[in-house]
Structure 1
Amino acid sequence: MPEEVLFETESSRSREEIADYLRTVADRLESDGSVSLSAGSQSVTMDVPSRPTFEVKAERETSSSGGPGELSLELEIEWDEGGNGGESGGDLSIE
């Protein structure tokens, strides 16, 4: 299925700034589920259903030149448009 990017931004942030963004998203998810994103001329509002799929992924991307690779922690919330959510993949623990 082709992918259409509705919003994208990437910038260097402190851990504290990232935590603030995540807290805001968490607060919006707990309230009405409506999350609005904006940066520059881009903006999008998404209404997250009550039971979306939550994907957590830790990755290491190796460098083809033999230098240091890149580590990433990805947190993804996804759902079918017009749907109520997805499958359960087991219990998640984050410490």
Structure 2
Amino acid sequence: MNSEDVSVKIFKALGHPIRLQIVKSLQTESLCVCDLNLSFDFSQANLSQHLKILREAGILESKKIGVEMHYRVKLKGITRLLSTMDQTVAEYFETLDF
């Protein structure tokens, strides 16, 4: 797998609205699945599938603490990427005012 393949894998994983929300909620803290599930209005099975995709893309890492599985952002560059994306989206909306 080359760097372009990894880039595509990361962007594909972030390309789903639910997964993007999950990553944004994990930028500053580690959370267990139970806490994440309270923040989103869908089943734990659905949440687990999204977490699996994010883990397989290398974006998140998990750690079992007692009976709970905790997740956090593994790649610090993801936080910078999301910040840049937010700035780009703001710039996009500014250009619509022409």
TM-score, shorter chain, exceeding 0.5: no
Greater RCO (CA < 8 Å, at least 6 residues apart): 2
Which protein is richer in helix relative to its size?
A: 2
Q: TM-score, structure 1 length as denominator?
A: 0.30
